[in-house]
Chains A and B, each alone.
Chain A
Amino acid sequence: MRLSPTDWRNLTLSALALAFVACLPWLVGNYGLSIGVTIVMYTVLATSWALFSGPTHYISLATAAFFGVGTYVTGIGIEYLPYWTLLPLAGVIGAVLAALVGLATLRLSGVYFVIFTLGLAEFIRQVITWGQNVSGAKGIYVLTSITEAHIYWQLLGLAALVYLLGWAIGRSRLGFALRIIGDDEQVARHSGIHTARAKILLFLVPGSVAAITGAILAPRYVYIEPSLAFTPMLSFQVVIMALLGGTGRLWGPLVGVIPFTFLWEGISITVPNQTTLLLGVSFLVIVYLLPKGFVGLFGAIRRRMGSEGLV
C-alpha cells in the first residue's frame, strides 16, 4: 500500500492529536476525566457504528447487545482469567455474535434488520436475567485496581485502532463494494459483488468494537446487572450521535459526539429528567435540518463560500 504525502501529513497530525488528548488525565480533574471517558467511549461506538451503517444505510440498534456482552465477559471472566486476555476475548465473542446476527438478518433489508437488532439486546438481557434467577445471583461485582485514567487510555487506544481500521477499509475493495451496495444493491450484485458476504464482514467491526468497549468499561461500573449493561438507551444515543455528526466521513461521528455529550451532561445536571427530550429533539433536528449531519453542513458551507470565490 503506497501512502501519498497527504496521507503522511494526516497520519502525523492524527498521532500528535492522540498524544495531546492522552495527556488529559494530568490536565483536568476527576470530573473532566469522566467526561473525557464518556466522549472517547461514544466516539469509539459511534465511529465503528458508522463504518457499517454509513455506507449500507442499515440502522443497527444492536450496540447495547454487543456492549452488554462485553461487560459480562469482564464481569465473569475477571475471576478466572488474566485481565489482558479479556479484551481480545470480548472482541472475538462480539464478532461471532455479529456474524450470527448478520447471517440471520442481512439478507433481509431495512426494517427487519432494525427490529431484529433492537430485539437482540432485549433477548440477551432476558436470558441473563433468567440465568441469574436460576442461579440465585443478582448482579456481579467487578472489583479491580483499574482507575479511570487506565480506562481512558485503553479507550483511546481502541479509538486509534478504529480510525486506522476505518481508514484502511475506506481504501480497500471492501470499502468500495460497500459504497456500491449502499447506492444500489442490484447494481452491486450484477457487477459481481458478493453483497451478503461484504455486509457480514463489515458488521463484524461494530460488533467486535462495542463488545471490547463494554469489556473496558465494566470495571468503571463496579456493579453490573442486565438492565444497566443492556440499556437500549445506549443504542439510540450511538445512532443519534453518529447521524448528528454525519456518516459520510470517518471523523463525522466525532463532531456529533462532542457537542452531544456536553449537552447531555449539562441537561443531566440541571434538569435530569429531560435527557429523553434531548434525544427526541436531536432526532427532529437531524431529520429536518441536518439530514447529512454536521459533515454535510460543513460541505454545504464550503461549497457556498467556494462559489462566491472566498476559498
Chain B
Amino acid sequence: MSAVLSLRGVTKRFGGLVAVNAMDFDVAEHEVLGLIGPNGSGKSTTLNLISGALPVTSGAIALRGSPITQLPAQDIARRGIARTFQLVRLLPSMSVLENVMAGAVFGHRRRWGYEAEAVAQTMLEQVGLAGRGHMAVGQLTYIDTKRVELARVLAGEPRVVLLDEWLAGLNPTELEEGVALIRALRDEGRTIILVEHVMDAIRSLCDRCVVMASGTKIAEGTPAEVLADPEVIRAYLGDDDA
C-alpha cells in the first residue's frame, strides 16, 4: 500500500498560537480517511494546509512522493488535490453546468469545449442533478448546492478529494442521501479525506481515522478503535466521562 498523500511534521502557527502541531499521517490509494476531533482542534486548518489555502509554517506535504508543501493553491489543484469548502462556495453568476465545467476545464485533467461539457454532465448525473444543468445556482436547495460543489470538484478527476464537513447542516433525509453519495465515491475507488462531525457517517464511510485535539494527533486507526480510545473520549467529553 503506497501513500498517495503524506504529511510529515506539518505545523501551522498563527503568531503564538499553534493551530496544527507536527501532524504525521499518510493516505493510501482508494482509502477514505476521516479527520475528526472536537471543534477548534485544527482539522479544517490541516485541510487548508494540504490544499494550499494557507502556507505551512514547517514540515512537509508530498503527493505521490513529490513535495507540494510550498506550492500555491492553483498548482496543488492542478496536481490533483481538489476540495470543497466548509461554507459552500459556488459561482453565483453562472449556471449549474458552468459551475461544474469550471472543475472540468481547469482541474487536474483539463478539457475544453464539448468534452468539458460532457464531463460536467456526467458529474451532474453522478451527484444526482441530471437535467438541472441549466438552472441558476440561486434556485437550488441547500443539499443541491453541496452536490454542485462536489460535482465541480470531481469534474477535474483529482487524485485526492478533500471534503470539509460536506455532511454538515443536512436534515436526516438529506444526510442519508449524502452518505450514500460519498459511499458511491468510495466504491468507485476514490481517495478521500473527510473532515466530519457526524459519527454515523464516520463509522460507515471511513477506512481509517486520524483524531486531532488542540492541533495534535492523539489517535489513529479504524473508526471502532479510535472511538473506543480513552484519550479520544476524553478529548471529546472531558475527564469525568473517560
Interface residues of A (CB under 8 A from B): 173, 176-177, 179-180, 182-184, 186-195
Contacts and interface: CB of A to CB of B under 8 A. Distances in A.
B105 A187 contact: no
B106 A177 contact: yes
11 contacts: A179-B93, A182-B93, A183-B92, A184-B90, A188-B74, A189-B74, A190-B82, A191-B152, A192-B74, A192-B156, A193-B74
A176 B105 contact: yes
Given A179-B94, A186-B53, A192 B89 contact: no
Contact of B106 (A182, A186, A191): A191
Contacts of B78: 192
A190 B156 CA distance: 11
A176, A182, A191, most chain B CB atoms within 10 A = A191
Contacts of B112: 173
Contacts of A193: 74, 106
A182 B152 CA distance: 17
Contact of A173 (B85, B93, B105): B105
- B: interface residue count bin: 20 to 34
B74 A194 contact: yes
Given A173-B112, A190-B51, A180 B91 contact: yes
B107 interface: yes
> What 9 A-B pairs are tightest by C-beta distance, nearest first?
A192-B77, A183-B91, A192-B106, A189-B73, A192-B78, A191-B106, A189-B74, A193-B106, A187-B89
Contacts of B74: 188-195
Interface in B141-157: 152, 156
Contact of B108 (A177, A186, A187, A192): A192
A183 B93 contact: yes
A180, A190, A195, most chain B CB atoms within 10 A = A190
Contact of B107 (A176, A177, A183, A192): A192
B140 to A, nearest CB: 15
A186 B85 CA distance: 10
A253 B231 CA distance: 64
B153 to A, nearest CB: 9
Given A177-B106, A179-B93, A179-B94, A189 B83 contact: no
A191 B72 contact: no
Given A191-B77, A192-B77, A184 B106 contact: no
Nearest to A195: B74
Interface string B62-105: 00000000001110011000110100011111100000011101
B13 to A, nearest CB: 22
A193 B108 CA distance: 11
A173 B112 CA distance: 8
Nearest to B162: A190
A21 to B, nearest CB: 32
Nearest to B80: A192
Nearest to A177: B106
A253 B140 CA distance: 32
A193 B52 CA distance: 13
A176 B98 CA distance: 9
B51 A191 contact: no
B74 to A, nearest CB: 5
B179 to A, nearest CB: 24
Given A173-B112, A177-B106, A190 B92 contact: no
A189 B106 CA distance: 10
Nearest to B84: A190
Contacts of A190: 51-53, 73-74, 77, 82-83
Contacts of A188: 74, 102, 106
A192 B157 CA distance: 12
B113 to A, nearest CB: 9
Contacts of A182: 93
Given A191-B156, A195-B74, 19 more contacts: A173-B105, A173-B106, A173-B112, A180-B106, A182-B93, A186-B53, A186-B89, A187-B89, A187-B91, A187-B102, A188-B102, A188-B106, A190-B53, A192-B78, A192-B107, A192-B156, A193-B74, A193-B106, A194-B74
Contact of A184 (B52, B73, B91, B108): B91
B50 to A, nearest CB: 11
Contacts of A192: 74, 77-78, 106-108, 110, 156
Given A190-B83, A191-B152, A183 B106 contact: no
A195 B93 CA distance: 18
A180 B152 CA distance: 12
Contacts of A187: 85, 89-91, 102
Interface string B37-51: 000000000000001
A183 B94 contact: yes
A34 to B, nearest CB: 39
Contacts of B72: 189
A187 B90 CA distance: 8
A173 B93 CA distance: 17
